[in-house]
Amino acid sequence: MRIVSICSSSSANCTYIESGGKGFIVDIGCSYKALCDGLELAGRDVSDINAVFITHEHSDHIAGLPMLTKKLKIPVFASEGTMDMIVSKNKAAAGADLRLISELEDAPVNVKVTAFHTPHDSAESTDYTFFDGENKIAVCTDLGCVTPEVRENLLGSRFVLLEANYDPEMLTRNLNYPYQLRKRISSDRGHLSNGDCAAFARELVKKGTVSILLGHLSRNNNTPELALKTVSAALQGSGAVMGRDYVLDAAAVTGNGKAIAI
C-alpha cells in the first residue's frame, strides 16, 4: 500500500491511500484544487480516486466534498449520523453517490475497509482501517481518548496515522481560546494530546506497528517538534529503537508529495 498525506491539521485533513492500483481518500477537508495539487506532487491524479471515506461532518474534514462529488462520480461512505449531517447541510453535490458504512463491503477498492467509532463531539465520528490481505493500516484522528473499540481496531496495524493534536501547556496558556473551547479540546470527546498519543504509540509499537505518522496537529496549540519529542521519548523509554523497531514522523500541514510505502 501507498499512503500520501495531502494535508493534516486542525484546518484541513485529507489522506490518499492506494492498493493494487486503486486509490481512495479519507476525508476531503481541503479544496479540490489543493487535492489535485497534492496528488500531482505525489505523481497521482484525481482520476485515481475510486472512493471517499468520511470520518465526520466538521468542516476541516468535508469542506471540499461538494466540489469533489460534483467533479467525480465516486461513492462517499460515512456513518449514518455523519451522513445525516452531510445531507441536511447540503454538503455534497446533488445526485452524489452517498453510502453508509454498512455498505463498506461494496467499496470499489482493493482492500478490506473497517469503520470503528471514535469519541468526538460530532454526530457519529468514525475512523478506518484498511487491510490488503497482508498489512493493515489505520487513519485515526479526532478522538478525545483511546477507547477499547479504538484500541481493538488499531492494535496490529503496520502503519497508523495517529492524532497528536495539542500540547497541554500550550493549550492552557493560549488565552486566545475561550475557556469553554479549551475545555472541549481537552475533553474525552475532543482531541488527543501529545502525551496520550505517546502512551498509545507505545502500545502500538509493542503490537507490531512499524510506522507512525503524527497528524491533525493544532497550529495554535502544538508544534511538530513538540509532538515528535513527546512521542519519541515515550517510545525510547519503552526500549524501542528508532529505525530498528519503528519509524516516526509528523504529517505536514499541506502535502509535500511524500509517499509512505507499506
Reported as a single tens digit per residue, the pLDDT across 213-242 is 999 999 999 999 999 999 999 999 999 999
Q: What is the pLDDT of residues 137-187, one digit of tens each?
A: 999 999 999 999 999 999 999 999 999 999 999 999 999 999 999 999 999
Q: What is the pLDDT of residues 98-123, one digit of tens each?
A: 999 999 999 999 999 999 999 999 99
Which residues are bridge partners to 117 per DSSP? 126
CA-to-CA distance for 149 and 130, rounded, in angstroms? 16
pLDDT score at 85: 98
C-alpha cell at 75: 461513492
C-alpha cell at 234: 515515550
Q: How far is CA 203 from CA 140, 143, 210, in A?
A: 15, 17, 12
**Full DSSP string of 31-69:** -HHHHHHHHHHTT--GGGEEEEE----SHHHHTTHHHHH
- Specify the CATH architecture of the domain 2-261: 4-Layer Sandwich (3.60)
Q: Give the residue extent of every domain in the chain.
A: 2-261
**8 Å CB contact between 53 and 24:** yes
**8 Å CB contact between 110 and 17:** no
pLDDT score at 257: 66
pLDDT score at 259: 73
CA-to-CA distance for 262 and 258, rounded, in angstroms? 13
Q: What is the pLDDT of residues 36-81, one digit of tens each?
A: 999 999 999 999 999 999 999 999 999 999 999 999 999 999 999 9
Provide the total of helices (H) and of strands (E) in the chain, helices listed first: 9, 13
Q: Look over the chain and give the mean of its residue pLDDT values, rounded to a whole number.
A: 96
pTM score: 0.96
Share of the chain above pLDDT 90, in %: 96
pLDDT score at 210: 97
pLDDT score at 150: 98
The closest alpha carbon to 187, from 132, 142, 234, belongs to 142
pLDDT score at 185: 97
The closest alpha carbon to 28, from 70, 238, 2, 235, belongs to 70
pLDDT score at 253: 85
